[in-house]
């Protein structure tokens, strides 16, 4: 059972779980509850178009999100008002580092 909120019935990939759990640790360090972390998948609806992606974000919709595109095995950061995603050159390791400071900076 996960402590964060999930909006899909799909099996969450292990790396996505690890990043989400790291973000939960950081949320709790910042004084927030685990429910402040939200995991979603963009391919759950018939109108969703590729590339499908997993999103790990805050539940406030203001801090941006960490994005994983499994078809490319690439990680990105998406700011709240960004027009494009920023590639995380160090992939999963960079996603873990970003999750570890997501709420505390």
Q: What is the pLDDT of residues 25-54, one digit of tens each?
A: 999 999 998 888 999 888 767 666 677 899
The domain segmentation of the chain, as residue ranges, is: 5-100
pLDDT in tens, 59-69: 876 788 999 99
pLDDT given at position 82: 72
* Cα 41–Cα 61–Cα 90 angle in degrees, nearest 5: 60
Pick from 43, 75, 77: nearest CA to 58: 77
Residue reference for tokens 């920023």: 86
């Amino acid at each position: 059972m996960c402590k964060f909120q999930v909006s899909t019935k799909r099996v969450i990939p292990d790396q996505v779980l690890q990043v989400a759990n790291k973000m939960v640790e950081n949320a709790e360090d910042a004084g927030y509850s685990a429910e402040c972390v939200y995991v979603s998948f963009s391919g759950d609806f018939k109108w969703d178009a590729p590339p499908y992606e997993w999103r790990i974000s805050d539940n406030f919709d203001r801090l941006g999100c960490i994005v994983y595109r499994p078809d490319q095995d690439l990680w990105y950061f998406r700011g709240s008002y960004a027009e494009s995603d920023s590639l995380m050159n160090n992939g999963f390791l960079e996603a873990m580092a970003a999750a570890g400071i997501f709420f505390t900076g």
